[in-house]
A and B are shown apart, each in its own frame.
Chain A
Amino acid sequence: MLSSFTSWFADPNLQWILMGSLLLGLGSGVIGSFAYLRKQSLLGDALAHAALPGICIAFMLSGVKSMGLFILGAIISGALATFGIHAITRFSRIKQDAALGIVLSVFFGIGVVLMTKIQHSGNGNQSGLDKYMFGQAASMMLSDVYLVGAVSLVLILICALLFKEFKLVSFDPGFARGMGMRTAFLEQLLLLMTVIAVVIGIQAVGVVLVAALLITPAVAARYWTDRLGVMVVFAGVFGGLSGAVGTMISGTLSNLPTGPVTVLAATLLFAVSALFAPNRGLIAKLMRRSRQRVEVRQWAGTPESGLGAAASRRYAGERSADS
């Protein structure tokens, strides 16, 4: 086990892959923070499923397995999917969640039809499209790794440069518009970046689980802080960590697909955060509650009932601030 670990690390090829999945996790964590704040967590899931027909059509038209073309196809079908979700919620009485589900499943259904069509036409193995289901970071080609790493870096860079703008658009789009910012452009840009993060994430963790790469690190980071800057950094670190751990474990242990391991690593980080984070974590909350209970009992025990009433008022106030 250990020897295979060290030999794994000595391989420069795999070092690159590790680097790539680390950057990928970092990028998706950062983008995911904005998606979470804008209450669009599941949009990533829908976009990932919707990417499948785009990828298949790109392959059918070009006949080559080129990651750049796949990304282009996925972006186009992702844009169509977001437009579809928007149109359904805007022009009918169907709600957001059902619209997401409809677009997700119908696009995916079309994608599956196209994929089986490709497989039946004989060059399915050569395309290796089934890798897209669960991802196989460890078997990525070096050129793909460069591309994934470079794209993630660009995403992170854009987030860093436009941090102030994205922050304002996420928290208070109305105010941002009032300040004279081009909110529509910024929102579209964030959406486009989400699509790109999802598409390169599919490569590593697969269609079904790529949503976790966006959601889980961001939510885990939310437990630790109330400041967006800190949250974005934390989410990036969590995402990068889970990406690296997932690639390492699935690279050394055979038979384990990368995606699920990465997602479980992220979920573990989330569980730790939800339990142990100071202030917002479950344990901190329980401790605070029991402390308050003791306090209230003490106040209520004293003969001056007025003070007891004041304490329970204070207790009720804190509780409502809590939730």
Chain B
Amino acid sequence: MMDFWIILTGSLVAATCGVLGCFLVLRKMAMVGDAISHSVLPGIAIAFLISGSRDSVLMLAGAAVLGLITVFLIQMLQQSGLQSDASIGIVFTALFAIGVILISLNASHIDLDLDCVLFGEIAYVPWDTWILNGYDMGPAAVWMLGGALLLVLALIGLFYKQFKLCAFDPALAAAVGIPVALFHYLLMGMVSVATVASFESVGAILVVGMLIVPASTAYLLTDRLSRMLLYSVLIGILSSAGGYYLAKWLDASIAGAMISVAGILFVLAFIFSPLHGLAARYLKRRRLKAEAGIA
């Protein structure tokens, strides 16, 4: 049962992040996802200081607000003429530093372990259960992640066409009257929510791996967005299950092992993908050369 809950939590993280990650990768905003995953920390800390408990709803709200502030600040700096990666770097390090300072200043009455925020403790997930009216409803993290996944799926499902167009051709989307900025901020808000929902289990740093790596792997395997979303989720789930058993075998961090497995899958796709892999490229080039030689 323990195994089941942990793998389920990992899979929920992977599914939520996998769907959002596809849009981040397509919009060339992977590092913005990285920035958000770091800069939600002060939001979590402030929500914690206000409520004094791990009230998940308040935390999600605080993180979503901070995520939007991050995106806003990055865009403001970019518009003032700064390189995009430099503005990302400045904003997320500053916000992350504020978060760490807030947590360490209140370390005495804040039950929020920095290591836990950074690396997560997915192994403890099954014990932290949600009790409703005296009934044990199963791990709280599963409910929170399930809620986040439902939210993401509902929003993406409702506005699939709009998100798709914004991802591939923002200019055209704007021309046909889609509020591109609104969908941009909606996506970023969802990324922040997904980050916070997952940070307790996989940690702030490894969330970015779950966002980017499976989505990039899927990007190498297909040319259709719908398939890319599906592959990304499946690869994420595969990595979390594989990572769990790898971690068990090695007696090491589960979250780290999940990302390592995702990395291995990426390398496999990078080399052997039938569409865009190294091997396929090499074979195609050789075939072309041979054909040219005959002709």
Contact = CB atoms under 8 A, between A and B. Distances in A.
Interface of A: 36, 39-42, 44-45, 49, 88, 91-95, 97-98, 100-102, 104-106, 108-117, 120, 130, 133-134, 208-209, 211-212, 214-216, 218-219, 255-257, 259-261, 263-264, 267, 270, 274, 282, 323
Given A98-B212, A282-B80, A255 B105 contact: yes
9 contacts: A41-B85, A93-B276, A97-B28, A104-B34, A105-B206, A116-B256, A133-B115, A211-B93, A218-B86
Given A109-B259, A215-B86, A260 B252 contact: no
Given A98-B28, A105-B209, A282-B80, A42 B85 contact: yes
Given A40-B85, A215-B93, A218-B86, 16 more contacts: A42-B31, A93-B220, A97-B31, A98-B28, A98-B216, A102-B212, A108-B256, A109-B257, A109-B263, A208-B96, A212-B97, A215-B90, A260-B101, A267-B97, A270-B90, A282-B80
B259 A117 contact: no
Majority SS at the chain B contact face: helix
A105 B38 contact: no
B220 A133 contact: no
A112 B89 CA distance: 22
B208 interface: yes
A208 B41 CA distance: 13
B206 A259 contact: no
Contacts of B259: 105-106, 108-110, 112
Contact of B31 (A100, A259, A261): A100
A91 B281 contact: yes
Contact of A219 (B90, B98, B205, B250): B90
Contacts of A259: 97, 100
A112 B276 contact: no
A217 to B, nearest CB: 10
A122 B57 CA distance: 38
A312 to B, nearest CB: 23
B253 to A, nearest CB: 4
A101 B30 contact: yes
Contacts of A282: 80
Contact of B80 (A91, A114, A274): A274
A214 B25 CA distance: 25
A120 B205 CA distance: 21
B256 A255 contact: no
| Most B C-beta atoms less than 10 A away, residue of A97, A109, A211 | A109
Contacts of A260: 96-98, 100-101, 104
B270 A92 contact: yes
A116 B212 contact: no
B178 interface: no
Contacts of A111: 256
Contact of A106 (B28, B80, B253, B266): B266
B278 interface: yes
A-B pairs with lowest CB-CB distance, top 3: A109-B259, A105-B209, A112-B256
B157 interface: no
B38 A208 contact: yes
B33 interface: yes
Contact of B208 (A95, A104, A214): A104
Contacts of A115: 253, 256
A14 to B, nearest CB: 20
Interface of B: 25, 28-31, 33-34, 38, 80-83, 85-86, 88-90, 93-94, 96-98, 100-101, 104-105, 107, 114-115, 118-119, 205-206, 208-209, 211-213, 216, 219-220, 247, 250-253, 255-260, 262-263, 266, 270, 276, 278, 281
Nearest to B246: A113
Contact of A255 (B34, B104, B211, B220): B104
Contacts of A95: 28, 30
Given A45-B89, A209-B93, A257-B100, A98 B25 contact: yes
A102 B93 contact: no
Contacts of B38: 208
A308 B283 CA distance: 66
A117 B216 CA distance: 28
B205 A108 contact: yes
Contacts of A211: 89, 93
Nearest to A254: B104
A59 B53 CA distance: 38
A267 B73 CA distance: 13
A267 B211 CA distance: 27
A187 B42 CA distance: 37
B21 to A, nearest CB: 9
A110 B260 contact: yes
Contacts of B96: 208-209, 260, 263
Nearest to B81: A323
Contacts of B212: 98, 101-102, 105
| Most A C-beta atoms less than 10 A away, residue of B90, B216, B255, B259 | B90
